[in-house]
């Protein structure tokens, strides 16, 4: 049975962050925990957000690591409880937003974080009691501000998804003004993350025409504007379109993702220093080629439709175009360039096979298939 469910209130435009107090009033947040990271705070972005809180008392957790962990969830949760908070405002990229979702669940449910992981049957354990979250993204990549999942590293090293309709932020304030100062390489990596999301959700076989349309339009916007956003950071049109593309890719997540993400989740758990968007960019061409033979891809001409959205000549041009885009953006040209060697491929594959994204790829991947994709991405 197809599930088509869009539930987030989204404010997207320059100046959207000025609506923060209004949205807090609407959903009843009076004492928020602000979840962010040290970089966002040091850049002054957090201050730009908190000036719009309408005088509310707030407390800040800025210890979010680049790949959020169960330990960080516990630290932020302690602040939430100690200050009698009644909601969370996440300011930053996907890491603070995902961390905020983990805190929102753990603050209102009994049990350790791992009990809410999708692979542990956590979907049925997460209820409407989940604390409300307002997401204020400062990058255009993960789309976590409208997504139903949080990707977190457990104490045992596994990178897992905590997924539920109740973890979707109640409000997303998508203000491109907050992305104008992003460094070029972070713009490129997060932008390719958005492109990977649009492509993988579109390739997923679930029947969801609205999600397909949203993903294709997001792909068109991101592909057209990512180079300008990277090379001309102050270009407002490019920043607006990249923020929209990021949000659109995540709106389509309900179709599922695929092998790009099962591999990047596995790798991110083993090597948390690696940037998720960069890994997705590296792995995407090999997965596109693997998926090209899937019956659903052929029947519905999905590569042809992606090529059209990207302004390419045909299906065979899609994977090479992604490789060429990575090069033009200055991103690493393979796993070897980020010090990932074949010695850890067996561990990556073992984890990828258990990842929640593995099941929604349009073509089932065997251990041998995963090994071939990893070697093709070296």
Distance CA 27, CA 188 (A): 34
Residues 161, 193 within the same domain = no
pLDDT at 1 over 60: no
> Would you say 221 and 273 are in contact if contact means Cβ atoms under 8 Å apart?
no
pLDDT band at 246 (very low <50, low <70, confident <90, very high): very high
Q: Give the whole-angstrom CA distance, residue 236 versus residue 228.
A: 10
pLDDT of residue 235: 96
Residue linked to tokens 């209130």: 9
Contact 50, 136 (CB under 8 A): no
Quick one: which of 179, 7, 23 has its CA closest to 92?
179
Only one residue has tokens 């679930």, namely: 206
Assess whether 94 and 207 both reside in one domain. no
Q: Are 73 and 121 in contact (CB under 8 A)?
A: no
Res 55 pLDDT > 60:
yes
- Based on the fold, state whether residues 226 and 113 are members of the same structural domain: no
The answer on 77 and 193 residing in a single domain is no
**CATH code: domain of residue 100:** 3.40.50.1970
Is 104 in contact with 131 (CB distance < 8 Å)? yes
Inside any domain, residue 4: no
- Given a cut of 90, whether residue 148 has pLDDT beyond it is no
Clarify whether residues 85 and 193 are in a common domain: no
Considering the domain architecture, whether residues 18 and 111 belong to the same structural domain is answered as yes
Judge whether 1 lies within some domain: no
Residues 312 and 367 in one domain: yes
The tally of domains found in the chain comes to 2
Chain segment 182-195, per-residue pLDDT in tens: 899 999 999 999 99
CATH number of the domain that residue 218 is part of:
1.20.1090.10
Task: Note whether residue 49 is domain-resident.
Answer: yes
Q: Within this chain, do residues 196 and 210 fall inside the same structural domain, yes or no?
A: yes
Residue 341 inside a domain? The answer is: yes
Sign of the C-alpha dihedral computed for residues 358, 241, 19 and 84 taken in this order? positive
Query: What integer is the mean pLDDT of 263-274?
Result: 88
Contacts for 180 with CB less than 8 Å, ≥ 6 apart = 233, 234, 236, 239
Which neighbouring-strand residues pair with 133? 88
Whole-model pTM: value is: 0.92
The span from the first CA to the last CA of the chain, in angstroms, equals 38
Q: Is residue 189 part of a domain?
A: yes
Q: Is residue 2 part of a domain?
A: no
Percent of the chain scored above 90 by pLDDT?
A: 88
- Are 192 and 286 part of one and the same domain? yes
Give the Cα separation of 339 and 67 in Å (integer). 18
Instruction: Classify residue 102: in a domain, yes or no.
Output: yes
Residue 3 forms part of a structural domain: no
Cβ neighbours around 275 below 10 Å, total: 22
- Do residue 310 and residue 351 come from a single domain? yes
Q: Please compute the mean of the pLDDT values over residues 293-300 and round it to a whole number.
A: 94
Q: Are residues 220 and 93 in the same domain?
A: no
Q: Across-strand partners of 35?
A: 61, 90
Q: Which domain holds residue 142?
A: 9-178
Beta strands per DSSP E along the chain:
9-12, 32-35, 59-61, 87-92, 133-137, 149-153, 159-163, 171-174
Task: Tell me which of 129, 157, 178 is where a domain ends.
Answer: 178
Q: Based on the domain organization, do 211 and 329 belong to the same domain?
A: yes
Per the prediction, the chain carries an average pLDDT of 94
* Final residue belonging to a domain, choices 144, 178, 212: 178
Give every strand in the sheet of 32-35, ordered side by side. Answer: 9-12, 171-174, 133-137, 87-92, 32-35, 59-61
Q: From 178, 199, 223, give the residue that closes a domain.
A: 178
- pLDDT of residue 80 exceeding 90, the answer is yes
Residue 6 pLDDT exceeds 80: no
Cα 131 versus chain centre, distance = 20
């Amino acid at each position: 049975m197809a599930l088509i469910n869009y539930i987030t209130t989204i404010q997207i435009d320059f100046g959207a962050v000025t609506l923060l107090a209004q949205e807090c009033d609407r959903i009843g947040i009076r004492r928020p925990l602000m979840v962010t990271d040290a970089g966002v705070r040091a850049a002054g972005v957090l201050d730009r957000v908190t000036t719009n809180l309408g005088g509310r008392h707030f407390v800040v957790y800025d210890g979010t690591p680049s790949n959020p962990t169960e330990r960080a969830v516990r630290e932020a949760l302690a602040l939430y409880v100690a200050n009698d908070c009644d909601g969370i405002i996440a300011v930053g990229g996907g890491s603070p937003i995902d961390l905020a979702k983990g805190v929102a669940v753990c603050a209102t449910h009994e049990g350790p974080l791992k009990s809410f992981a999708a692979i542990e049957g956590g979907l049925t354990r997460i209820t409407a009691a989940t604390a409300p979250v307002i997401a204020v993204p400062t990058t255009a990549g993960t789309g976590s501000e409208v997504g139903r999942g949080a990707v977190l590293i457990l104490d045992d090293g596994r990178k897992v998804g905590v997924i539920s309709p109740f973890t979707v932020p109640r409000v997303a304030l998508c203000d491109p003004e907050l992305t104008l100062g992003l460094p070029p390489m972070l713009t490129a990596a997060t932008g390719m993350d958005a492109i990977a999301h649009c492509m993988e959700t579109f390739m997923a076989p679930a029947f969801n025409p609205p999600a397909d349309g949203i993903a294709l339009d997001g792909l068109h916007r991101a592909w057209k504007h990512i180079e300008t956003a990277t090379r001309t950071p102050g270009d407002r049109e490019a920043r607006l379109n990249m923020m929209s593309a990021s949000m659109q890719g995540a709106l389509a997540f309900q179709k599922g993702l695929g092998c790009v993400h099962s591999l990047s989740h596995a790798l991110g758990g083993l090597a948390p220093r690696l940037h998720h968007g960069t890994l997705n960019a590296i792995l995407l061409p090999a997965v596109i080629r693997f998926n090209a033979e899937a019956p659903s891809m052929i029947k519905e001409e999905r590569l042809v439709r992606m090529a059209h959205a990207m302004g390419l000549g045909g299906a065979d041009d899609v994977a090479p175009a992604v490789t060429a885009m990575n090069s033009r953006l200055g991103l690493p040209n393979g796993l070897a360039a980020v010090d990932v060697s074949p010695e850890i491929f067996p561990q990556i594959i073992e984890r990828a096979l258990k990842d929640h994204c593995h099941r929604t790829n349009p073509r089932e991947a065997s251990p041998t298939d995963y090994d071939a994709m990893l070697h093709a991405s070296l």
